[in-house]
Amino acid sequence: MDVKNIWLILSGKGGVGKSSTSSQVALTLASSGYKVGLLDIDITGPSIPHFFNLKSAKIHQSSAGWVPVYTDSSKNLGLMSIGFLQPDNTKSIVWRGPKKTAMIRQFLSDVVWGELDYLIIDTPPGTSDEHISIATELQSYQGNLGAILVTTPQEVAAADVRKELNFCKTVNFPILGVIENMSGYICPHCHDCTNIFSKGGGESLAKMYDVKFLGSVPLDPKLITVVEGGNFVTDYKTTDVANVYHKLLQNLVELK
Amino acid sequence: MQTEPLQTPLHCPGTESEQAGRDSACEGCPNQEICQSRPKGPDPDIPLITEALKDIRHKVLILSGKGGVGKSTFTSLLAALIADAEVDKQFGMIDIDFCGPSLARIAGVPNEQCFGRDAKWTPVYAESNLGVMSISHMLPTTDQPVIWRGDKKTGLIKQFLTNVDWGEEGLDMLFVDTPPGTSDEHISLAQYLKPSGGYGALIVTTPQEVALQDVRKQIDFCQKAGIPIFGIVENMAGFVCPSCGGKSDIFVAGTGGGRALAEETGVPFLGSVPLDPRVGMCADSGKDFLTDYSASPATLAIKNVAVNLLTEMGIELPEYLEEPESAIEPAQQTVAV
């Protein structure tokens, strides 16, 4: 695999915005000219095809392996998800651990990414089969490996993310930093900010574990509208959070 | 249960089959070795589980394909509400999300340890008639990760079903809080509960399509696995600004939300619960939202869901839940957030 950097997007908790973060990180890097791959290893609940509004796209099999789905003709951003392999993506994938492991192994060995600056890996919540497998598979990886942990501000989420941080330590994943997502919501009527899921959980978590706090990202209804009905790839830059991510990622990488 | 793998051969005999890994169709399949080494046939512990479950009259699984939609919060609130309405009956909750357990904290018993008696675990009681069993009650520190593959998780589910001392009368209702997805925990649970009957699923979703698409898969899973569905609840529907009282949808129901999904799949719709920041605050601190904010629209919505759920289950409503109430919120309850 000719990949310079691999970033894992992790969180112990579900629904904190791992896929949303992965998509935005990948898109921000790609629009800065980097060659980026986005791999979704959430086998039973893949969300990446939905974010890019590519639910009916299919993976092509070439002689070299699986060709990722590209978001535009620049081919700066390639996507791979089990959602692209299913004939009918309203049907469930009911798999126990060993099958998920086999699939992840295939994702890492059989996809023709080409040369990549960044491979972003979106993960399911927890510290189970998928996580153990990806840690095992990446053991021999020679490039720069790092994990970005996503949490929401409230204690119920931070408690699970602490477990994930300890998991990263156990398997020797270097931690790039913590992102606090869904941090506040600006009322469209009065522009007052409400901390729906409380505030500051991500920052105090980062402090406690002595890892970098990359920043907090507010709930942006515009982003949800763009994802749910619009064109994420072209319209993302019109959202407020696009700037937030641009700034946040400059903690880690040079951006245009 | 038959699964629908993608990479497996056309004539895959199924992972539970006696021929798994040995059939001629298995030649060349990447999973052949795994299937070959797995024990064959139905789980030999199922009769034991069925025996242990005979004193539990109703079992409600709280499911959702998606994480973070409020499964644990909803499990806890619903169980507390029903237990409070039926003080002379016994209720229990178990959390089988071993890698990300939240139920104990939300139920207000995050740090308690559970103890064994006569080789059985005694649950931690959140209310006098509501016991909680979670892996949080067994870990030395709450920050310790549980790095387990499926087989180990399945083993503990079995123990949670057979090895908990719920008291002599057994339970009137057991609520099972689950992790997101359709994998080991869900497959095992379906297999373990099927022979004893008296069970069904309550499906929780949030309004936006990114959640609904996973929930649709969960419903498909329930249908494949033969799990009866009591209904769908839509959580985090609509937000009322505490500053100006203006209503907005944070999680936009672009495709019609939970109600449309219920219609599309032919599953009863049990109700919508609005997004109230105080629910999360109470969950963090283990406070009792239902008592502290008894007249809030969220409390009334949850009551309404409880009534609809019990009706779907064919259970007679306790008196407490029969009284209709209106959502009038006293001024002192409106706290700044």
Q: Is the dihedral of CA B257, B179, A122, A159 positive or negative?
A: positive
The pLDDT assigned to B10 comes to 59
* pLDDT at residue B29, as a whole number: 76
Domain residue spans in chain B?
A: 1-41, 46-333
* Distance in Å, alpha carbon of B319 to nearest chain A alpha carbon: 33
pLDDT at A189: 86
Q: Does domain A3-249 have CATH number 3.40.50.300?
A: yes
pLDDT at B227: 97
Q: What is the pLDDT of residues B246-268, one digit of tens each?
A: 888 889 888 899 999 999 999 99
Task: Tell me the mean pLDDT in the region B97-109.
Answer: 95
Neighbours of B117 (CB within 10 A): 8
Contacts of B187 in chain A (CB under 8 A): 94, 96
- Shortest CA distance from B253: residue in chain A: A228
CA–CA dist A219, A115 (Å, integer): 34
Q: Mean pLDDT lowest for which of B83-92, B112-121, B218-227? A: B112-121
Which of B307, B244, B306, B241 is CA-nearest to residue B274?
A: B241
Cβ distance of B252 and A224 shorter than 8 Å: yes
Ordered by start, the domain boundaries in chain A are: 3-249
Helix (H, G, I), strand (E, B) or coil at B294: coil
Q: From chain A, pick out residues whose CB is under 8 angstroms from the CB of B189.
A: none
List beta partners, residue B60. Answer: B175, B200
- State whether residue B30 sits within 8 Å of chain A by CB: yes
> Quick one: CA dihedral A43, A48, A50, A53, positive or negative?
negative
Q: Looking at the predicted structure, is the pLDDT value of residue B180 above 80?
A: yes
Confidence tier at B9 by pLDDT (50, 70, 90): low
E-strand stretches of B64-187: 91-95, 115-117, 120-122, 124-127, 130-133, 171-177
Contact of B149 with chain A, judged by CB distance below 8 Å, is answered with: yes
Angle at B66 between CA B252 and CA A96, to 5 degrees: 160
Instruction: Tell me whether B142 touches chain A (CB under 8 Å).
Output: yes
**Is B283's CB within 8 Å of A154's CB?**
yes
Q: Do B250 and A126 touch (CB under 8 A)?
A: no
Q: Are A17 and A25 in contact (CB under 8 A)?
A: no
Instruction: Give the sign of the dihedral formed by CA B148, CA B151, CA B152, CA B155.
Output: positive
Complex ipTM, two decimals? Answer: 0.93
Banded pLDDT at B3 (limits 50, 70, 90): very low
Give φ, ψ of B231 to 5 degrees.
160, 180
| Mean pLDDT, residues B62-79 taken together | 96
Query: Residue written as tokens 């959202």?
Result: A239
CA distance B181 to A14: 10
DSSP conformation class of B275: B
> Using the beta-carbon criterion (under 8 Å), do A189 and B337 form an inter-chain contact?
no
| Residue B211 to residue B216: CA distance in whole angstroms | 9
User: How many angstroms separate the CA atoms of A131 and B145, rounded?
Assistant: 12
- Which single residue is written with the structure tokens 């060995």? A109
What pLDDT was estimated at residue B330? 43
CATH number of B46-333: 3.40.50.300
Instruction: Return left, alpha or beta for B323; rule: phi > 0 is left, psi -120 to 50 is alpha, else beta.
Output: beta
Nearest-neighbour CA in chain A from B303: distance (Å): 22
| Mean pLDDT confidence for B312-333 | 67
pLDDT at B333: 38
Among B105, B180, B220, select the one facing A125 at the smallest CB separation: B180
Using DSSP's 3-state secondary structure scheme, residue B74 falls into: helix
Q: Which two tokens stand for residue A154?
A: 């409230």
Among B178, B248, B250, which residue's Cα sits nearest to residue B207? B250
Strands across the sheet containing A116-122 = A69-70, A77-80, A36-40, A116-122, A3-10, A144-151, A175-180, A213-216
Two tokens, residue B151: 């087989």
SS3 content of chain B, % helix, strand, coil (to 5): 40, 15, 45
pLDDT of residue B1: 45
Instruction: Pick the more confident residue, B272 or B119.
Output: B272
Helix (H) or strand (E) holding A7: strand A3-10
Q: Is the pLDDT of residue B294 over 80?
A: yes
Question: Which tokens hold the place of B46?
Answer: 């199922």
Could you read off the pLDDT tens digit of each residue along chain A, which spans 256 residues?
Answer: 799 999 999 999 999 999 999 999 999 999 999 999 999 999 999 999 999 999 899 999 999 999 999 999 999 999 999 999 999 988 999 999 999 999 999 999 999 999 999 999 999 999 999 999 999 999 999 999 999 999 999 999 999 999 999 999 999 999 999 999 999 998 888 888 889 888 889 999 999 999 999 999 999 988 988 998 879 999 999 999 999 999 999 999 999 8
Between CA B293 and CA A42 the distance in angstroms is 37
Q: Tell me whether residues B218 and A227 touch, CB distance under 8 A.
A: no
Taking CB atoms and an 8 Å limit, are A166 and B143 in contact across chains? yes
> What is the identity of the amino acid at B132?
V
Is a pLDDT exceeding 90 seen at residue B31?
no
Give the Cα separation of B156 and A97 in Å (integer).
15
Q: Do A129 and B182 touch (CB under 8 A)?
A: no
- The answer to whether residues B184 and A98 touch, using CB atoms and an 8 Å cutoff, is no
Q: How far is B56 from chain A (nearest CA, A)?
A: 27
Distance CA B114, CA B91 (A): 17
* Mean pLDDT computed over B150-157: 96
For testing the chain A interface, which of B16, B183, B188, B250 should be mutated: the one with the most A CBs within 10 Å?
Answer: B183
Give B223-253 as a 3 state SS string.
HHHCCCEEEEEECCCCEECCCCCCEECCCCC
Task: Note whether B67 contacts A12, CB cutoff 8 Å.
Answer: no
